[in-house]
Structure 1
Amino acid sequence: MPRQGPFQPPHAYAELRAEQPVARVRLWDGRAAWLVTRHAEIRQLLSDPRVSARRQHPGFPFATPARAAAERHEEAFISKDPPEHGRLRKMLTRYFAVRRIERLRPVVQDIVDGLIDDIEESGPPADLVRQLALELPARTICHIFGLPPEERHYFQSRDHRRNALDSDPADVVAATEEMLHYVDALVASKQRSPGDDLISELVRDQLDTGAAERGELVAILRHLLAAGHDTTANMIALGVVVLLSHPDQLAQATTDPELWPGAVEELLRYISVFQISPNRVATEDIEIAGVTIRTGDGIITPAVAANRDPHAFPDPDTFDIHRQARHHLAFAYGVHQCLGQPLARLELQVVFRTLFERLPTLELTTPAERLAVREYLLLSIEELPVTWTVPGVSR
């Protein structure tokens, strides 16, 4: 569906929301599926036990051939249904508790400070995608997993191959296999020489006790490794664009840092980096919004459609850091909502506050509407060129 701009959802979402909130649409492979565009119906379906997340189901709707290859090849933790999903999620929940993640704040702050030190030292201009957005979450996940920082280049390159919408399906499968072998080797390494890191904990608490099988743990860690950096990297880059495009609200947040948590929630709502998911499939007939979704029908519930619903968010196309936006669906909803959301929130709060405190004159050197958008699973830009004023140096 055509967009009005690179960072805006298709206008057709608003039309369908008003006239046909659960609408029949045609997919790239010729199959039909249901597109849901209202916040209430999306929440209802994502919490309905008659709706499955299993990618191996023949009716599951994939966005592209590359996504079909990636998600059919590996039955990830997020594609399992209850009760199996509940068992695995319960196994992981305590490692991502808010209090535990909050203890990482000094670590994240040190990483951000070091990255901005490097940016300042190299001087303007800078590319904040390459020098900040990609670096912070990748270095953070390396710390959590007990990996040397240079390892980030390996898993970043494989994830970029997996998540490019125009990738060759065979290359997607190859990149997935490479990641699984990489993680399996990490598990073996931590079994031989455990450390004070998440992989070592999971090996000790779950694998060695028999609570999880090796294949399960490898698949979970592969997913955590990917989810722990790619989504946040894109949110950082796009968040900078949105904030610089709303200078009055940015000035309010930098003047009153207590506004940053609310500003991050509004950024998550307004941007909605997962623009083409979550997707599901019906396991029974479901009556909703005047239509019948039949058993085996694919269901598309884009978070961006829910997050721009005026019934849930008045004047939804306006960015407003004072909005009460916590009920957004950027992290999905129901039993499959994002396990790592406390970490994402922490990283975003730290990076935006620190960046604009240290570089208060930061500005884009390319208009926002001209930034190159990648054909990617997530809303994503190729580069983010910026400049700023250096005291005593004329521009």
Structure 2
Amino acid sequence: ETTGCPYPHPPVMPQDGTPFQPSPEFAKWRTEAPATRITAENGTIGWFITGYELARQVLQDIRFGNSDQRTPLGPRPLVLGTPIGEETMHALMVGNVLGLDPPQHTKIRRAAVGRFSVRAVRGQRAAIAEYIGQRLDEILAAGSTADLFEDLALPVSVFAHCRVLGIPDSKSGEFAAIFATEDLKVGDIAYMIGTIMVSLLSDPAQLDLLRREPERIPAAVEEFVRFHAMFVSTHPRTVTEDVTLEGIEFRKGDPVWVSTVAANRDGARFPDPDKFDVTREAAGHLAFGNGIHACIGQQLARVVIGEAITQLLQRIPTMQLVEAEQLEPMAFAGDLPTYAPGTVRVTWDGE
């Protein structure tokens, strides 16, 4: 029986995992059912999805609304660095595609999607590659150590988003200040670059393979983001009408939390899923979500991640890992259960 509550008191979402070894509870739950009843911090009971196929279906199904923002962690304050007025807050909520359902979601997303299309992003590839090269020049000139998040990933992410969004250079500092606060300095680009390098620097065979055959990197990006998915839980959904999927009976009003971290480790979809393998065919992963709320910036992320990893491997062949906070469990980033990038300190031989 997969419906109803399998525990007398539904468990809370575990917080003992890392981007490299998610909580073992997720795999345990998935062997029992593709979704498990859990208790949020505020006492709300909802469904936590760990199975790949169910996660894929829920993310595509508009019967799982996106406007009720109840997270397993409970409400967290939104910190923007500077106080904002009521009118500005209203504008943020009205235009926040992550918290909207159609038709408002469709209207807002349509206005932005063109800037993040494959064609638009490829048009910025040369500028992004040049900026990454400049940042590496500065990093190498400064010494023989760096924090791959603060010194590379964060400024590169800011630059890439400014280019795609058309934010002028005169406003880039303001943009960076808003999106680099403690609660918001997350994102597939600011998190992935450092996290990927931790895995590669810890696996000499795969590191050497990509150095010898850098043409593999664009395809390997899919495995990079599958294995290192950051959303332990995506933005919450609420069931808008009774529906049964994969044997789970969802009732109207139920909160639903999809774990792309857990879904991407489902052995029914990805054989030997806990193995990081840059030669794996990883297309179809859910690291960027799925359906109408799939990450609008995923094409940008692919380009930036691929270019950054390529240049890092080419230009700093003696790089070694010194410290990576995320090798041990850390507090989640922001108000969603997402892995934080932490410090990724590396060193290399000086000239």
Q: Does TM, scored on the shorter chain, surpass 0.5? A: yes
Preserved contact between residue 326 and residue 340 of structure 2 (Cα < 8 Å)? no
> Pick from 218, 239, 259: which aligns with 2:196?
239
Classify 1:19/1:7 alpha carbon distance in 2 versus 1 (closer, same or farther; 3 Å). same
- The alignment's C-alpha RMSD in Å is 2.6
Question: Could you say which residue in structure 1 is the equivalent of 2:7?
Answer: none
Q: Find the residue that maps to 2:323 and give its secondary structure.
A: coil
The separation in 2 between residues aligned to 1:361 and 1:331, in whole angstroms, is 32
Map 1:333-372 to 2 at 5 A: 333-366=290-323
Offset at residue 90 of structure 1 (A): 3.0
Offset at residue 5 of structure 1 (A): 4.7
1:129 aligned onto 2:149: yes
Residue identity opposite 1:8 in structure 2:
Q
Question: Could you say which residue in structure 2 is the equivalent of 1:382?
Answer: 342
Question: Could you say which residue in structure 2 is the equivalent of 1:210?
Answer: none
Segment of structure 1 superposing worse, 281-290 or 143-152 = 143-152
The separation in 1 between residues aligned to 2:260 and 2:247, in whole angstroms, is 21
The separation in 1 between residues aligned to 2:162 and 2:221, in whole angstroms, is 23
Classify 1:162/1:117 alpha carbon distance in 2 versus 1 (closer, same or farther; 3 Å). closer
Offset at residue 374 of structure 1 (A): 4.8
> Pick from 67, 80, 84: which aligns with 2:104?
84
Offset at residue 99 of structure 1 (A): 1.6
1:63 aligned onto 2:73: yes
Deviations 1:262-316 (A, max 9, x none): 2211010001012221421100011133332110110010110110000110000
The separation in 1 between residues aligned to 2:273 and 2:327, in whole angstroms, is 23
Q: Find the residue that maps to 1:30 and give its secondary structure.
A: coil
Residue identity opposite 2:157 in structure 1:
P
Classify 1:98/1:341 alpha carbon distance in 2 versus 1 (closer, same or farther; 3 Å). same
Segment of structure 1 superposing worse, 130-139 or 79-88 = 79-88
Map 1:1-395 to 2 at 5 A: 1-3=14-16, 5=18, 7-55=20-68, 60-61=70-71, 63-66=73-76, 74-75=93-94, 76-147=96-167, 149=169, 151-161=171-181, 163=183, 230-366=187-323, 373-377=330-334, 378-391=338-351
The separation in 2 between residues aligned to 1:247 and 1:113, in whole angstroms, is 24
Offset at residue 151 of structure 1 (A): 4.5
Offset at residue 152 of structure 1 (A): 4.5
| Percent of aligned positions that are identical | 32
Q: Find the residue that maps to 2:48 and give its secondary structure.
A: strand
Offset at residue 158 of structure 1 (A): 3.5
Question: Could you say which residue in structure 2 is the equivalent of 1:217?
Answer: none
TM-score, normalization by structure 2: 0.84
Residue identity opposite 1:347 in structure 2:
V
Residue identity opposite 2:125 in structure 1:
R
Instruction: For structure 1, list consecutive stretches of 5 or more residues without a partner in the other structure.
Output: 165-225
The separation in 2 between residues aligned to 1:275 and 1:367, in whole angstroms, is 19
TM-score, normalization by structure 1: 0.75
Offset at residue 63 of structure 1 (A): 2.9
The separation in 2 between residues aligned to 1:90 and 1:319, in whole angstroms, is 35
Offset at residue 252 of structure 1 (A): 0.9
Offset at residue 144 of structure 1 (A): 3.2
Classify 1:118/1:244 alpha carbon distance in 2 versus 1 (closer, same or farther; 3 Å). same
Offset at residue 55 of structure 1 (A): 2.9
Offset at residue 142 of structure 1 (A): 2.5
Q: Find the residue that maps to 2:271 and give its secondary structure.
A: coil
Report which of the two has the higher share of helix.
1
Offset at residue 354 of structure 1 (A): 0.5
Deviations 1:294-352 (A, max 9, x none): 10110010110110000110000000011111100011011111111111100001000
Which consecutive segments of 4 or more residues in structure 1 shift more than 6 A?
67-73
The separation in 1 between residues aligned to 2:165 and 2:74, in whole angstroms, is 31
Deviations 1:93-148 (A, max 9, x none): 33222122111111011110000001110111222221101110112223334445
Aligned residues: 325
Preserved contact between residue 244 and residue 250 of structure 2 (Cα < 8 Å)? yes
